Amino acid sequence: MLAKVMSASVLGVDGFTVAVEVDLGLGLPSFDIVGLPDTAVRESRERVRSAIKNSGYEFPAHKITINLAPANVRKEGAAYDLPIAVGILAAHGSVRMDLLERTVIVGELALDGQVRPVNGVLAMAQAVVEGGADFFVVPRENLQEAAVVEGIMPVPVWDIRETVSFLNGDWQPEPVRVDWEEAGQPVYPEDFRDVQGHDHAKRALEIAAAGGHNLLFIGPPGSGKTMLARRLPSILPPLTREEAMELSRVYSVAGMLPTGVSLLTQRPFRSPHHTISAAGLIGGGRIPRPGEVSLAHYGVLYMDEFPEFPREALEALRQPLEDGVVTIARAATTLTYPAKMMLVASQNPCPCGFLGDAARPCVCTPIQVHRYRSRISGPLLDRIDLVVEVPRLRHDELLGRKEGESSAAIRARVTAARSIQTQRLAGMGLYCNAHMGAKELKIYCALGEAERRLVAKAMQTYNLSGRAYARLLRVARTIADLAGSDRIELPHLAEALQYRYNERGLPGAAGVR
């Protein structure tokens, strides 16, 4: 007695189908699972046994062998509970085979036979469509994320009995589809209208948002660095459907997609504490899962108190900042997670926080300042496009009643600049100006003679590296896009140079080496 049930799982953020083969053979009653199962999969034997009995079905007294194919890929999680139970019932003759052959099944089982939600259903649904199945049986709580994928009919089930009833043709679910237009518009509680002063910092945020650039704020405590950073998502362009699908897939795999939500429509803002480990920031662990850089995909990763993060975690940021992906290698497999995020960091100019502040004197020695800044390595600073000083506001600026420019007005300019980049970079697989390579820089960032002289002088004065030079051109290209200019001109380069870090020290502390 042999039965085959198709299921699905995830590897990284990609789904793949798994064949659950069930054999009821002769011999003493036993229950074995093969095919590289992890502990959660092996423990499904007890859950499946109890769920079948408590649902009113007879558990066969046979030698039961379950094979999960492909056998060379490790199987993790409890999503195989329901397909294993259905396979046993099908091999025993309780489930018809005709509909089962066109169906993919996932779900965790409770001991009473109820089906519980699982992670990664969105990625699994995309794999199911590619596999050519007609139906996708999922827990009811996972219906919305399964329904957003076109080309497959999701079947929400409550328990084993409902699953068997569907497979035997006793009932058909109503078709469910999620319209992207009805998914809802993002709502950002913070608005730049509430920000007093800081025009220079707001301009830097607008440039960063328009080109997807990384940014570092430096200023004394309470100057408004965090307040400004938290408003950055409100000026980013709305997510496209493709971006929302990719972002939601990451959150689905991580188990962080809210119940009943099909797609995330709001760009993420992740702000991890400075005690986070390298695995928590980048991803990994014994069972690899996405880290904060992947959870901030297409959004903002904000790192407050930048020098206080562990050195190992900071240095691990280099690859995602450069490549837009995170690669995690393990003995059994290598996983890749997307990480096209904007890094926004903030720090004090010195350990006490008041170096260069007009209101309070700094009490740090030069060696203390040097050690504090040395926590951020040169290669990491080289990957930050804009370095901005955020000074303490004067009393008249804080008490002023003048309303600032709204996030909606800034977002309109940012969206227009991103549209220019989308048309320019169409077909290249690039997201925005910050991800242009050497080939694109040569084509779209060509400089005139006057601009070349300015860049040559800047490279000599500030000792810019090759990477810093490329990032300078990308920022200048973004400023030109905001101005509606087809080419990079002197004012665009001059403004981009204002945001560069140089060997003379951080903004506001030029006298300290």
- Structural domain includes residue 481: no
Q: Round to whole Å and give the CA distance between 89 and 161.
A: 11
- Structural domain includes residue 409: yes
- Structural domain includes residue 465: no
In sequence order, the 6+-apart residues with CB closer than 8 A to the CB of 392 are: 219, 220, 222, 223, 357, 358, 359
Q: Quick check: 219 and 201 in contact, CB under 8 A?
A: no
Q: Is the dihedral of CA 85, 89, 92, 95 positive or negative?
A: negative
What pLDDT score does 173 carry? Answer: 84
> In angstroms, what CA-CA distances link 17 with 123, 146, 386?
11, 15, 44
Q: Quick check: 63 and 29 in contact, CB under 8 A?
A: yes
Query: What does the H/E/C string look like for 349-373?
Result: CCCCCCCCCCCCCCCCCHHHHHHHH
- Structural domain includes residue 303: yes
Residues 156 and 281 in one domain: no
Q: Round to whole Å and give the CA distance between 410 and 235.
A: 6
Q: Among all chains, which residue has been given the structure tokens 């996405």?
A: 290
Residue finishing a domain among 375, 402, 428: 428
DSSP state for residue 399 in the 8-state scheme: S
- Structural domain includes residue 490: no
70 preceded by a cis bond (ω within 30 of 0): yes
Residues 230 and 159 in one domain: no
Q: Round to whole Å and give the CA distance between 144 and 65.
A: 34
**212: which 2 tokens?**
């997807």
Q: Among all chains, which residue has been given the structure tokens 């407050």?
A: 304
Q: Round to whole Å and give the CA distance between 495 and 450.
A: 15
Residues 278 and 357 in one domain: yes
Residues 126 and 209 in one domain: no
**Exposed / middle / buried, residue 85 (Cβ in 10 Å: 0-12, 13-18, 19+):** buried
Q: Round to whole Å and give the CA distance between 250 and 255.
A: 9
In sequence order, the 6+-apart residues with CB closer than 8 A to the CB of 153 are: 134, 135, 136, 173, 175
Residues 60 and 209 in one domain: no
- Structural domain includes residue 152: yes
Q: Is the pTM of this model over 0.75?
A: yes
Stated as kind and residue range, the H or E segment containing 156 is strand 153-157
Q: Round to whole Å and give the CA distance between 265 and 268.
A: 9
Q: Which structural domain range is residue 87 located in?
A: 2-167
Nearest-CA neighbor of 207 among 475, 506, 493?
475
- Structural domain includes residue 175: no
Residues 30 and 145 in one domain: yes
Residues 209 and 333 in one domain: yes
For residue 488, the Cα-to-chain-centroid distance in whole angstroms is 32
What pLDDT score does 507 carry? Answer: 43
Q: Round to whole Å and give the CA distance between 410 and 22.
A: 59
Residues 258 and 148 in one domain: no
Residues 200 and 300 in one domain: yes
Stated as kind and residue range, the H or E segment containing 419 is helix 407-424
Q: Which residues of the chain have pLDDT under 70?
A: 180-184, 331-332, 400-401, 501-513
Residue 452: how many other CB atoms lie within 10 Å: 12
**74: which 2 tokens?**
């490790």
Distance, first Cα to last Cα, the chain: 78
What pLDDT score does 182 carry? Answer: 62
Q: Round to whole Å and give the CA distance between 276 and 37.
A: 30
Q: Quick check: 65 and 25 in contact, CB under 8 A?
A: yes
Give the number of domains in the chain. Answer: 2
What pLDDT score does 183 carry? Answer: 61
Domain harbouring 9, CATH code: 3.30.230.10
**Exposed / middle / buried, residue 316 (Cβ in 10 Å: 0-12, 13-18, 19+):** buried
What pLDDT score does 504 carry? Answer: 39
Residues 241 and 102 in one domain: no
Domain harbouring 320, CATH code: 3.40.50.300
DSSP state for residue 271 in the 8-state scheme: -
Residue finishing a domain among 371, 396, 428: 428
> In angstroms, what CA-CA distances link 254 with 11, 12, 120, 137, 246?
12, 10, 7, 21, 13
**295: which 2 tokens?**
């959870």
Q: Among all chains, which residue has been given the structure tokens 């649902």?
A: 55
Residues 250 and 369 in one domain: yes
Q: What are phi and psi of 371, to 5 degrees?
A: -65, -40
- Structural domain includes residue 485: no
**Exposed / middle / buried, residue 141 (Cβ in 10 Å: 0-12, 13-18, 19+):** middle
Residues 124 and 204 in one domain: no
Residue finishing a domain among 379, 406, 428: 428
**99: which 2 tokens?**
């509909």
